[in-house]
Structure 1
Amino acid sequence: MKWQRIPLGILQTNCYLLTNENKECIVFDPGEEGEKLQSIINAQKLKPIAILLTHAHFDHIGAVDMIRDTYHIPVYVHKKEAAWLSDPALNGSERFMMGKAVRQEPADHLIDQESKLSIGSFSFDVFETPGHSPGSISFYVKELNVVFSGDALFQNSVGRTDLPGGNHQQLISSIKNKLFALPDVTMVLSGHGPETIIDHEKRNNPFL
């Protein structure tokens, strides 16, 4: 397997493609610029099989329906944010997009607990990592030593918690109890900015 990071939209939200040897891929957080993302997928002759959302803020879901409808694939999100896909007040687009409301169709699958998730040949450990938002989740791929953390943990920073449903203490607890429990060599693939390493954040992150 291999992964690639594709920053999308005005906030340069990181979408990730996780690809296996058969060119099947999982799409994480298709936030915006659906046509650009689609062109990248097609140019590499990839075959998307699912969309996984770390959370449902507008900058992570803007291209969900375009990618879902183009490739006829299911969308997964935590049940606590099931309503956010279609509600601009909840997903934040009403507040931040100056009238450009983001509305997507409901997710096909709701994640309601920490568990193993298998989709085709892909396997993930799903961790609930709320704090940035109530339904924030992280996807750990043991074989690659990577975790898709959404907006929970960044290089030398953490997710903002001043949005509706945010909770700073809950976020710090999520990071320390869930993400920092992973092996120190685990690479953190964040929702914005460059990747980092768990050991680096334990030693250097000023918020932790």
Structure 2
Amino acid sequence: MKWQQIPLGPLQTNSYIVENPDKTCMIIDPGEEGNKLIHLLNQRKLKPIAILLTHAHFDHIGAVDRVRDTYNIPVYIHKQEEKWLGDPRLNGSQLFMQINPIVAKPAEHIIQNEGEMKIGDFSFRIFHTPGHSPGSVSFYFQEYDVVISGDALFQGSIGRTDLPGGNSAQLIKSIHDKLLSLPEETYVLSGHGPVTTIGEEMDSNPFLNGF
């Protein structure tokens, strides 16, 4: 499996493409600039089979319908944010005056529980990592030492918790219980900023002192 980080939109939200040798791929958090993302996929002759959402804030879902409709593929989201795709108040797009309200169609698949998931030939584990938002999830590809953490954990920082449904104590618990328990060599692919590792964040992240 290979992965590629693609910063999109005014907030430079990281979208990720994970691909197998047969050119099938999954798209995580197509946040904005749908045409740019589609051009890249077509240029590389990739075959998308699913869209996974770490959470449903506006900067992570802006191009969901554009990409979904282009490739006729399903969207996966956690049950606690099932209604956020179609509600600008919940997904936050109504809070930012410079951004048009975002309304996306409902997801085809609702993530009900943590645990193993298989989509096509991709196998990974789902962790529920709330705190930044109630339905935040992380996708762990154990075989490749990669976790896609959304806006839970960043290089040297953690997700904001001042948006609706945010909870700072819950976020710290999520990071401690679900993410810092992974092997230290695990790459952390965050929703914003550069790639880091679990070990690096355990050693130097000022928000995680004591863990």
Shared fold (TM-score, shorter chain, > 0.5)? yes
**CA offsets per residue over residues 143-199 of structure 1, 9 Å max, x none?**
110000000000000000000000000000000000001111000000000000000
Give the whole-Å Cα distance in 1 for the aligned partners of 2:139 and 2:96.
27
- TM-score w.r.t. the length of structure 1 is 0.99
- Alignment-derived partner of residue 8 in structure 1: 8
- Alignment-derived partner of residue 19 in structure 2: 19
Secondary structure of the 1:54 match is coil
- Alignment-derived partner of residue 182 in structure 2: 182
- Matched to 2:193, the amino acid is G
- Alignment-derived partner of residue 73 in structure 2: 73
- CA-based RMSD: 0.7
Query: Which consecutive unaligned segments of at least 5 residues does structure 1 have?
Result: none
Structure 1 segment 100-111 matched on structure 2, within 5 A: 100-111=100-111
Secondary structure of the 1:177 match is helix
Identity %: 64
Kindly state the Cα deviation for residue 97 of structure 1 after the two structures are TM-superposed. 4.2
**CA offsets per residue over residues 54-98 of structure 1, 9 Å max, x none?**
000000000000100000100000000000000000000000143
- Matched to 2:185, the amino acid is V
Structure 1 segment 32-181 matched on structure 2, within 5 A: 32-98=32-98, 100-181=100-181
Give the whole-Å Cα distance in 1 for the aligned partners of 2:131 and 2:66.
28
- Matched to 1:117, the amino acid is M
Give the whole-Å Cα distance in 1 for the aligned partners of 2:58 and 2:99.
13
- Matched to 1:37, the amino acid is L
Deviates more, 1:123-132 or 1:98-107: 98-107
Kindly state the Cα deviation for residue 99 of structure 1 after the two structures are TM-superposed. 5.7
Give the whole-Å Cα distance in 2 for the aligned partners of 1:118 and 1:74.
14
Give the whole-Å Cα distance in 2 for the aligned partners of 1:18 and 1:98.
31
- TM-score w.r.t. the length of structure 2 is 0.98
